[in-house]
Amino acid sequence: MRILVTAGPTREFMDPVRFISNRSSGKMGYAVAIAARNRGHEVVLVSGPVALAAPVGVTVIPVVSAAEMLAAVSGNLDSCDVLVMAAAVADWRPAAVSGQKLKKLKREPDMRLEPTADILQTLKPRKGDRVFIGFAAETEQVEAEARRKLVSKGLDMIIANDVSQADAGFDVDTNRVVLITSEALPLSLPLMSKQEVGTRVIQWVEERVKASPRKGGIAGLRDMAPAGSVPRAPGRLAQQLGFIREIDRLKLVLRRTLLMDGTRYENDAEHSWHLAVMAILLREHANTPDVDVGRVVKMVLVHDIVEIDAGDTYCYDDAGNRGKVAREQVAAARLFGLLPEDQRQEFQALWEEFESRVTPEAKFAAALDRVQPLMHNYYTGGVVWKQHGVNSAKVQDRNRHVGEGSLALWEFAEELIRDAVARGYLEA
Ligand code: PMT
């Protein structure tokens, strides 16, 4: 995607040496730009006057005033999929600007102010299916004020920061923000680095664009597939390579678990890899001593492939779980059907074995599949549990079958749940 970010303050001059401005250092906007670049996007950064180095690989357009920022954002909007306004644009400017330095007079200068153009409001009619994100710097009624701006400025998301706190908002390296959209519950994030906030914001945009792709967005990358004839392989190999290409999409399926460092959501491919390593390491804790770990590894690598078509269903989403079996069966038929017949049967059988949870291997695999997200939730302070209103009884219930595969892991899981409650990560 091409992402347009603004950062820093604007300066509104009253004469050649004096101006109205604010305390924005640009750190928040630069962090968003760097996060977008790190995640492979093209980034244009419109920056007010700051003391930060231009990030490598980012196109930086320096501006001074709100009017210049508006012109730069407006000029680049058409070629961008996303606009993130992290800049603290001055709301007023002197109505008259003196060409010469104003003289110090006996009486106070008679300075009249006029409002600057609101950049987001001005560009709202050109939004189309672009993603627009604003920040709200507030000192009181933080969420309510931010929500008002979300609606009035026609935004997809607003990031509210309580700038009355010393470790958040202006000119510090950390921030404590609430992500507010019109569709979901607000997501309050704990204190984290601005870089981490930037990553969360870009992660959210990617999910949003994936859900409703616009031309030139992530889905547009599909148009970049080489045109004309591409190298061909003989029948069986061609089928296998086609399947390998198809399952790359598992990396795009995001789960409702944050990475253990809380920086972004985990994807299904990462989850499967984690389980495979756990299977090898933790085999001695399986209830069945001679569990076939090779088959457990195969099973956990295959178990989520169906989610390429069926999507990830959050385990505490009761409504979503009702239609899950049928959705996944259709997905399994299409996806495994891409393979040569013998391998189709093998993958289908592994997936069904995992789902039925009858064999010792399947029970152990299912135990790993539950313990891993528990750890993610625990190490991220239960942010996602809280977001979905999950309590300890529900977590106990949903994970109880861990004991069928590994009593040792279930004991550990119970301890983790108890401690999560004690620490306030999880409702009792
Ligand atoms: O730069 P840092 O030191 O790292 O500090 C970060 C920050 C506190 C500046 C940043 O996190 C932040 O909150 N930026 C927005 C500050 C702000 O001006 O909020 P606002 O509530 O006044 O404006 C709401 C939104 O409208 C913002 O996205 C703003 O960029 C935009 N706006 C505001 C005024 C204006 N004339 N035009 C606009 O588009």
Tens of pLDDT, residue by residue over 292-348, are 999 999 999 999 999 988 888 787 877 767 788 988 999 999 999 999 999 999 999
Spacing, Cα 332 to ligand 1 middle (Å)? 47
Residues 205 and 253 in one domain: no
Q: Is the pLDDT of residue 253 over 60?
A: yes
What pLDDT, in 10s, does the model give residues 58-74?
999 999 999 999 999 99
| Alpha helix positions (H), 91-234 | 119-123, 142-152, 194-211
Q: Is the pLDDT of residue 273 over 90?
A: yes
One-letter amino acid at 47 equals S
Single out the residue in 160, 175, 210 at which a domain terminates: 210
DSSP letters along 271-296, please?
HHHHHHHHHHHHGGGSSSTT--HHHH
User: Is 222 within the bounds of a domain?
Assistant: no
Residues 258, 206, single domain; the answer is no
Both 25 and 156 in one domain: the answer is: yes
Claim to verify: residue 158 and residue 245 sit in the same structural domain: no
Which residues make Cβ contacts (< 8 Å) with residue 103, sequence separation at least 6? none
Q: Could you tell me the residue range of the domain that residue 34 belongs to?
A: 2-210
CA distance 229 to 396: 54
Ligand 1 atom index nearest CA of 158:
28
Q: Which residue among 22, 23, 89 has the greatest number of ligand 1 atoms within 8 angstroms of its CB, and so is best to mutate?
A: 89
- The answer to whether residues 265 and 359 belong to one domain is yes
Ligand 1 interacting residues, C-beta cut-off 6 A: 8, 24-28, 66, 85-89, 91, 116, 118-120, 134-137, 149, 161, 163, 169-171
Q: Determine the average pLDDT of the residues in 20-48.
A: 96
- Tens-digit pLDDT profile for residues 376-386: 999 989 988 98
Shared domain for 117 and 244, answered yes or no, is no
Higher pLDDT, 225 or 365: 365
Across the range 27-40, mean pLDDT stands at 96
Residue 127 is assigned to a structural domain of this protein? yes
Rounded to the nearest angstrom, the distance between the alpha carbon of 207 and the centre of ligand 1 is 23
Residue 108's pLDDT band (boundaries 50, 70, 90)? confident
Q: What is the edge-to-edge ordering of all strands in the sheet holding 187-188?
A: 59-62, 42-47, 2-7, 82-85, 131-138, 157-162, 177-180, 187-188
Same domain, 321 and 195: no
Length of the chain as a residue count: 428
What is the Cα Rg of the chain in Å?
26
E strand or H helix at 367, and its extent?
helix 360-379
pTM: 0.58
Number of domains observed in the structure of the chain: 2
